[in-house]
Structure 1
Amino acid sequence: MRGKALLRGLAAAMLLLALPARPEAAGAAEDQLERVVILTRHGIRAAMSTPEELGRWTAEAWPAFAVPPGHLTAHGFQAASLFGAYYREHYRALGLLPTGDCAAAQVHANLPQRTVETGRALAEQLLPGCPARVDTVSTKADPLFDPVPAGATHLDPDLALAAVRGRIGDATAWTAAHADTVEALQRLLLNCAPAECHAQAQPGGRLASHRLLTDVPSSLDRGQGEDWLRLQSPLATASGLTESLIMAYADGAPLTSLLGGRVNADALNRAGAAHAADLDARLRTPYIARVGAGPLARHLVDLLAGDGPAVTVLVGHDGTLLLLAGLLRLDWVLPGYQPDQVPPGAALVLERWRRADGQTVIRTRFTAQSLDQLRALAPLTEAQPPLSTPVFIPGCSEAGLAMDCPLEQLRRLVADATRGE
């Protein structure tokens, strides 16, 4: 009986952790929400490669998107709009975003079409009846999202190569450590076991014109220019294919057109391990994260400490969130996704609260629509919310369900983390 009671208690605690942070969740009804900064990834986009290029790795033809490679899809715009409407209702209930106040929120996006259009979808819903304004920079690179090309930071390619090599070792060993993940994805793509796939890929075989993930060579070298790192491996190739599959599924492609019906949310969750491992090596490596997220981290602190619009949305990429996570050592897990995965439209939400004791604290959570919410364009409400989990900030967050991080401590933490960048 005691064991069952303990399990019931643990289940109740996990349910509380899954809910967005609210005053009652922190046990202080008088706490006051003052400001919110939402750092979000763009919504569902078309694959970065053509169906013909992707089809070299799959037994079946690849479905085509209705927009150019990398662009936000119409379905993705609708999914982002649903998230924007949820943010509006959620924060209006907490005293922000009053009806008719067009200065209550601002949206700043990186330059690609998919980020700007995601920003427009969010702006339309956050401030209905107001001009859907999305701010962007007038230069070729935004220092918040691309600080190295913008000249805001400097990356030493030799040091970056050493930092990645120090984490993953020899690229061949790194590939071998993830062999099960690669083989599972190849089975999904080609519908055959590794030995069978290899035999069928020989001249005259069913897969003679196809490529095998397991045949991709592994290497890790210094790159040139903006392509500062060349990491080639079956895992890196699997990463891009997995993300393209996720986008097609989330965009509502008919299941029969996705690898003959073999694709579902569970299969994509397992396949997501390749993408998560690849981006972890490229983006969460501490040196790279410090160079890539330093200006953004300082800007976030300034926004949280300032007196501007009550809600600020910054629209970037999965790499934007992962670089910041690498810098501040943030982690999260949502049901149906891999640890630290950043699905389309996912966001780190940072809220400034004035506690009843007078302390100003930051409460952070990671939130995302599930793959099936994205695919079905499911409306988001307090009764049927997006996935959400509190995020602990090492060196700042306190004990407790809300994981309060004192604002001034966060400022010192970011200053220390970016010193020398």
Structure 2
Amino acid sequence: MKAKICGSLCLLSAAVLLSNAHAETPSDVLQAIPHTEELLNVVVVSRHGVRSPTQSAEKLHGWSDKKWSAWPVAPGLLTSRGFYLVKATWKLNRSRAPFTYGVCPKPEDVQIIADVDERTRKTAEALNEGLYPTCGYKVKVTSSEHSAIFSPLKAKVCRIDYPKELEEKLTQKVVGINEKFAAQMAEISKLTGHEFTGPMRAKVSKYKVGFKGAPYDCSSITEIFALEWGQNPEKKVAWDQLDWNGILHLMPIRVAVFSALNRDMEVARYKGSALANKIIESLDHGPKYTYLIGHDTNLANLGEIFDLNWKLPGRDQNENTPGGYLTFEKWSVNGQPEIRVFYSALSPEQIHAERVTQPTDDFEILPRGTKFDEWKTTYGRRLQSNCIADDKYENRK
């Protein structure tokens, strides 16, 4: 069942709505009012599955003289283990709302769109094989070098107007981060045998924004440990030194650094407006099911634009798990359109198990009763119109 976990805002809002309804409406009238619900549209935005580190061998050697774990694929590619985890997740979803479909939906009722990277394309294929194994749907991928939907800056749909000012603002945001996460940085220095010191600062150009410095390096190393956890079932990671509790102790520096960049509203509007617009359009008049396969940056950008926050058991606040996904559901409730949003991901135990036997943990972000039209109007105002464009696609199996 969906919505095992509900945020405090969700619970509070629902309680207020229910108490007000019962205060104003006699119980006999309530019982006489028919309640109807119909699922209209679903949009899933998923991060790709477990991949190999994107860093070069030289970069990894600069972080530690120890021999890093061997990966079966080139840097940044989806592993066969990553493919399996995604496929198994979506195979289990066949019997879970809102994805239950009985027979295959009509081809015009399903679109699966992936970013151009191999790891996103392969993840889309794994989702398709898991959820729709006999339906014959194809994954759409832009024929351009970069996707206008997933990466409008790389695709040069728009550009950062004042790079120097944004660079200074982002650098100021992370002043004191070394002190705040001194324990995590000391632990990573101990694990790697390399001392990480020095400040972090932003680096921004017209089409690119990022961080550099010791906290950023520690953030990236923590992400590698989390990827190793998914890649190597039932084994410790970080040179056989960490279990999940050890990774979870380090995760706050990863989330903090990642969020300081990708959950900055100015950055999110540049990088996320096109994808946010695609979600709104798909919910408004798209096919019944839309699947958009991108990156953790995409989910973080959407989190900032749409005010979405999540917390799953055994994971850090707003942690982006390989294969984790946001689900936007549009329902007709008593004839009125409503929006429901969830974040879902495999538990730390399931992503590390030899075989996936349990479905994702699910966090219900928005309270029931959120009006779709009001939601669309509120957040549509945040989008940066000059960064919104669509892609041309070629079909892939």
Say yes or no: does 1:232 pair with 2:212.
Answer: yes
SS at the partner of 1:362? strand
Answer yes or no: is 1:80 the counterpart of 2:107: no
**RMSD (CA atoms):** 2.7
CA drift of 1:237 comes to: 0.3
1:157-204 CA distance string (max 9 Å, x none)? 123214313533x4xx232222122113323444xxxxxxxxxxxxxx
Task: Work out the CA distance in 2 between the residues paired with 1:123 and 1:282.
Answer: 31
Q: Is the 8 A contact 1:164 1:282 kept in 2?
A: yes
- Displacement of 1:218: 1.9
Shift of the 345–239 alpha-carbon distance from structure 1 to 2, 3 Å rule, reads same
Q: Output aligned runs, 1:52-71, within 5 Å.
A: 53-58=59-64, 60-71=66-77
One-letter code of the match for 2:90?
Answer: G
What is the one-letter code of the residue matched to 1:285? Answer: D
Q: Do the aligned partners of residues 99 and 278 (structure 1) sit closer, same or farther apart at CA in structure 2, a change above 3 Å counting?
A: same
Relative distance call for 1:147 and 1:95 in structure 2 (3 A) is closer
Task: State the match for 1:196 in structure 2.
Answer: none
Deviation at 1:59, TM superposition (A): 7.0
Distance in 1 separating the partners of 2:385 and 2:165: 14
Residues 420 and 127 from structure 1, CA distance in 2 versus in 1: closer, same or farther, beyond 3 angstroms? closer
Deviations 1:49-81 (A, max 9, x none): 356643554474211110111100000000000
Aligned partner of residue 127 in structure 2, secondary structure: helix
- Select 1:41's aligned residue among 44, 47, 50: 47
Matched, 1:391 2:365: yes
CA distance in 2, matches of 1:375, 1:127: 25
1:371 matched to 2:348: yes
Amino acid at match of 2:195: L
Gaps of 5+ in 1: 1-13, 191-210, 393-401
Q: Cα offset for 1:131?
A: 2.4
Go from structure 1 to structure 2 and tell me whether the alpha carbon gap of 1:167 and 1:219 turns closer, same or farther (over 3 Å shift). closer
Q: Please point out which of 309, 318, 323 is paired with 1:331.
A: 309
Partner of 1:101: 105
Counterpart residue number, 1:17: 6
Instruction: Write the mapping of 1:343-362 to structure 2, written as runs, cut at 5 A.
Output: 343-355=321-333, 357-362=334-339
Letter in 1 for 2:276: A
Residue 37 (structure 1) shift: 0.6
Q: Any conservation in 1 of the 2:53–2:75 contact (CA below 8 Å)? A: yes
Q: Which residue of 1 aligns with 2:190?
A: 187
1:90–1:158 distance in 2 versus 1, CA, 3 Å:
same
Contact (CA 8 Å) 2:346, 2:361: kept in 1 or not? yes
The CA deviation at 1:330 is 1.6
Contact 1:163 1:287 in 2 (8 A): no
Does the 8 Å contact 1:109/1:315 carry over to 2?
yes
Q: Matched residues in 1 for 2:384 and 2:54: separation?
A: 35
Which range moves more in the overlay, 149-158 or 266-275? 149-158
Cα distance change of structure 1 residues 30 and 182 upon mapping to structure 2, 3 Å threshold: same
From 183, 199, 205, the counterpart of 1:218 = 199
In the alignment, is residue 268 of structure 1 matched against residue 236 of structure 2? no
Alpha-carbon displacement from aligned partner over 1:289-321 (angstroms, at most 9, x marks no partner): 11111111111111011141x221100000000
Q: Whose RCO is larger (CA < 8 A, sep 6+)?
A: 2
Q: Contact 2:53 / 2:76 at 8 angstroms: preserved in 1?
A: yes
TM-score norm. by structure 2 comes to 0.83
1:403 aligns with 2:368: yes
Percent identity over the alignment is 22
Mind listing any 5+ residue stretches in structure 2 that lack a counterpart? 19-33, 387-397
Alignment partner for residue 157 of structure 2, among 147, 152, 157? 152
CA contact (8 A) 1:305 1:407 kept: no
Residue 225 (structure 2) pairs with residue 245 (structure 1): yes
TM-score normalised by length of structure 1: 0.78
After TM superposition, give the deviation of residue 419 of structure 1 in Å: 5.1
Q: Which residue of 174, 177, 180 corresponds with 1:174? A: 177
Return the offset for 1:247: 0.8
Deviations 1:336-372 (A, max 9, x none): 21111101001111111111x2211110010001222
SS in 1 for 2:228: helix
Q: CA deviation at 1:227?
A: 3.8
Q: Judging changes above 3 Å, is the alpha-carbon distance between structure 1 residues 360 and 180 closer, same or farther for their aligned structure 2 residues?
A: same
Q: For residue 38 of structure 1, give the secondary structure of its aligned residue in structure 2.
A: strand
Distance 2:91 2:380 in 1: 34
Equivalence map 1:277-356=2 (5 Å): 277-308=256-287, 310-355=288-333
* Secondary structure class of the residue paired with 1:136: strand
**Aligned partners of 2:310, 2:264: CA distance in 1, in Å?**
17
Deviation at 1:86, TM superposition (A): 2.4
Equivalent in the alignment of 2:22: none
Closer/same/farther in 2, CA of residues 254 and 57 from structure 1, 3 Å limit: farther
Q: CA deviation at 1:109?
A: 0.3
User: Judging changes above 3 Å, is the alpha-carbon distance between structure 1 residues 166 and 50 closer, same or farther for their aligned structure 2 residues?
Assistant: closer
